[in-house]
Amino acid sequence: MTEKESVSDSKVAIKMIEEKAVGSAIYFNSKAKEWYQLSNFYGGVEEAYASLRFPPLAPLLSKIAVCNKEEFLVLLKAFQPSKKWNPAKENFWFDEKGEPIRGILAKLLMNSFPGESTSANKKRA
């Protein structure tokens, strides 16, 4: 793709976003049909935050960032041992392409440390 084509594609994308967003708020979460990639659960954002907040967990978080589907499900269930699982609940944390939404694992891992949500830890991150 040439630079001119790239700029043209970018302008088209920006125009589409502006047309959809004008006069309306953008609502998003990890499962929204549009804008879902703005969620912290995508793009390694939650993993990066968790690594800063809990530096000793960085090696585990690095593994989470590249885990396959089977490893993802094992970890998801391990971080929520009391949850009753079924295929629908398992599939909830996969995107439309069938890729795991890995950020949830970082969030669950951080939540597994009771009392660690102090302002001092938040300031550190």
Asked if residue 9 and residue 58 are part of one domain, the reply reads: no
- Percent with pLDDT over 70 in the chain: 62
Tell whether 34 is covered by a domain.
no
User: Does residue 33 lie within any of the structural domains?
Assistant: no
Residue range(s) defining the domain that contains residue 71: 40-124
Q: Answer yes or no: are the C-beta atoms of 65 and 44 closer than 8 Å.
A: yes
Same domain, 62 and 115: yes
Domain identity same for 19 and 62: no
Q: Is residue 55 part of a domain?
A: yes
Q: Are 12 and 47 members of one domain?
A: no
Residue 87 or residue 18, greater confidence: 87
Structural domain tally of the chain?
A: 2
Question: Mean pLDDT of all residues in the chain?
Answer: 78
Cβ distance 55 to 110 under 8 Å?
A: no
Asked if residue 92 is part of any domain, the answer here is yes
> Looking at per-residue confidence, does 40 or 22 come out higher?
40
**Over the stretch 82-115, which tens digit does the pLDDT of each residue have?**
999 999 999 999 988 899 999 999 999 988 877 6
Taking CB atoms within 8 Å and a gap of at least 24, the contacts of 117-124 are 121/53, 122/53, 124/52, 124/53
The answer to whether residues 54 and 22 belong to one domain is: no
Residue 90 lies in a domain: yes
**In this predicted structure, what is the pLDDT of residue 33?**
67
Name the H helices within the chain: 3-21, 45-53, 58-65, 69-78, 87-91, 103-111, 119-124
Residue 57, in any domain of the structure? yes
* CA–CA separation, 111 and 73 (whole Å): 18
* pLDDT surpassing 90 at residue 6: no
Strand partners, 94: 100
Range of weakest confidence among 55-64, 79-88, 95-104, 116-125: 116-125
Residues 51 and 22 in one domain: no
Q: Report CA torsion sign: 20, 23, 27, 32.
A: negative
- Dihedrals φ, ψ of 123, to 5°? -65, -35
Q: What is the pTM of this model?
A: 0.65
pLDDT at 46: 87
